[in-house]
Amino acid sequence: MVSLPRQVFRVSAASLSAIAVLALAGCGNNYRPVVSAINPVGPSTQPQVYATAIADPGNGNDGLATVINVFGETVAATASVAPSPLYFTVDSGGQAYVIHSGNSVIDSFSAAEGLMTTTVKHSSLAQNVNPTQITTNGTAGPVFIIEPSTSKVAVLSAGTPPTIRQELPVPANPVYTIANPSATRVYTLSQGTTPGTSTGTATAIEAGTGTANNAISASIPVGISPIYGVMTPDARRAFVLNQGSGTVTVINTVGNNLDKTITVGSNPIWADVAPAVNEIAVLNKGTGTSAGSLSIINVALCNQVALPGNAACDPNNPADAANFGTVLSTVPVGVNPVQVAILSDLSKAYVANADGTVTVVDMNTMVATKTITVGGSLNWIQAVAGNPTGKILVTAADTQTLTMIRTDTDVVTSTIQLQGKGIGIRVSQ
C-alpha cells in the first residue's frame, strides 16, 4: 500500500445519498421475520432509526419489505411488494420506489406510520422495457428509471404512485443515472453498442425542481463500460466509474463538460463520498478471484483552499485544486468487493465483499484494520450514524439474513431473517 499526504483543507459536505426513513406494517402475512440478537444490543439512548430491506422469496412469490428498528435491533413491520424485486431507492422525504425483474411494475410507498401492504401503490412502465435502475433527484423529484431495452430513461414525477412525464432517448445500453438532491442536472451513463469495447457516454439531463421539461443538455464521452457514479454534495463535480478502463471520469457539472480522468485500480464498481475531507473512496473489484482494493482520492476544489479574495478562483464555478485527482492511498480489501460505505464521522469505511466478509478501513491512517466474517455472497452495505455507536447493515444475494455490526467494536450484534434473499437495505436519519 502506498499512501500520500492528505489535503489539509476541509469542506462542508453531505453523505452520498439522502435515504429516507420508512415505517412499513405488514398486512395479510402469516409470519414475522425472526431476529437473532447477539448480546450486547444497542443502548436504549440511541436515536430512533428505521431501515428497510427488500427481499425476494423466489418462485414468483411477492417480494417483501422488512422494516427494522436499527438500534433496537427489532423488526418493526413487513409489507408485500410485487414479485421479483430488483432495485429500489428512497428519497430524503421517505418516499420509496421499487422496480422489478421481468416486468414493468413500480411499487411506491411513503414513510407513514402504520403503512400496510394494502397501501403500497402499484404503477407501470411500458411493457418490455426491462428497467434495471431507479433514482430520485430529491423529494420533489423527478424520478429516473433506466430502460435498457429501448435505450431510454423514463422521467417520472415523484409521488405515490409516480406518474410518467416523458421518456428520453440515450445511447445504447444505459446502466445508471447519477443524481443528487442539490443538483440541477443528472447524468445517465450508457455503455454504447458494444459494452466492454465502446466508449461510454454520460448524458446530461436538466433536472432542477423548476424544470418543466427535462431536456438533454450535453453528451459527454467517458471511459469504457461506465457502471456507477457519485456527485459531490454541492453537486459541482460528478465522478463516473469506468469499469472497463480502470479510470474515473470527472465532470464539471457547472460547466457541463469533461474535467479530467483519474486512473484507479482494476474494475472500479462503486464509490462513496467522504464529507468534509475533500475525498472520495473508489472500490475496485480487481480480478474477482484475488483481493480488490479501495482507492482514496483527493477531490478538493480551489475555492476550498484559496485565500479569500483570490480572483482566480470563481466561487460559482471553482477550478480543481492543485492536488485534485491525487490517489492518496490504495488499500487492499477482500475478494470480489461489491460496495463501500463511509461513516458520517469519517473515521472508517466498510467494504462488503462477495466472499462473505466485511473489510474495515481506517480513513485516517488509510489502512485496513479488520476483516469481519458475515457469510453469504454480500451484495449491499449501509452505514448508520449513532452515538455512542453506529451500525453497519449488510445483505447477501444468496441468504435470507441481514447482518448488523456495531461500529465501535466492529462486532456482529444481530442477524435478522428477511424471509427472502436480500436485494438491498436503505436507511435515513
pLDDT-wise least confident of 70-79, 229-238, 363-372, 390-399: 70-79
d(CA 398, CA 392): 19
Residue given cell 435470507 in the structure block: 400
pLDDT at 360: 99
What average pLDDT does the segment 262-275 reach? 95
Residue 17 lies in a domain: no
Give a yes or no: residue 28 inside a domain.
no
Pairing of strands 367-373, 35-37: unpaired
| DSSP letter, residue 24 | B
In a domain, 168, yes or no: yes
pLDDT surpasses 90 at 338: yes
Residue 226 located in a structural domain = yes
Counted domains in the chain: 1
Task: Give the Cα separation of 96 and 110 in Å (integer).
Answer: 6
| pLDDT (tens digit per residue) in 128-143 | 999 999 999 887 789 9
Give the residue numbers spanning the domain of 79.
Answer: 35-305+316-427
Does a structural domain hold residue 246? Answer: yes
Average pLDDT, the chain: 87
CATH of the domain at 233: 2.130.10.10
- The residue among 206 and 386 whose pLDDT is bigger is 206
- Which of 231, 272, 237 has its CA nearest to residue 252? 237
> β-strands 35-37, 411-417: how paired?
antiparallel
- Please report the pLDDT score of residue 18 as a whole number: 39
Domain membership flag for residue 15: no
Asked which of 4-18, 74-88, 200-214, 216-230 is least confident by mean pLDDT, the reply is 4-18
| Statement: residue 29 has pLDDT above 50 | no
Residue 16 domain-assigned (yes or no): no
Predicted pLDDT of residue 30: 42
12 within some domain: no
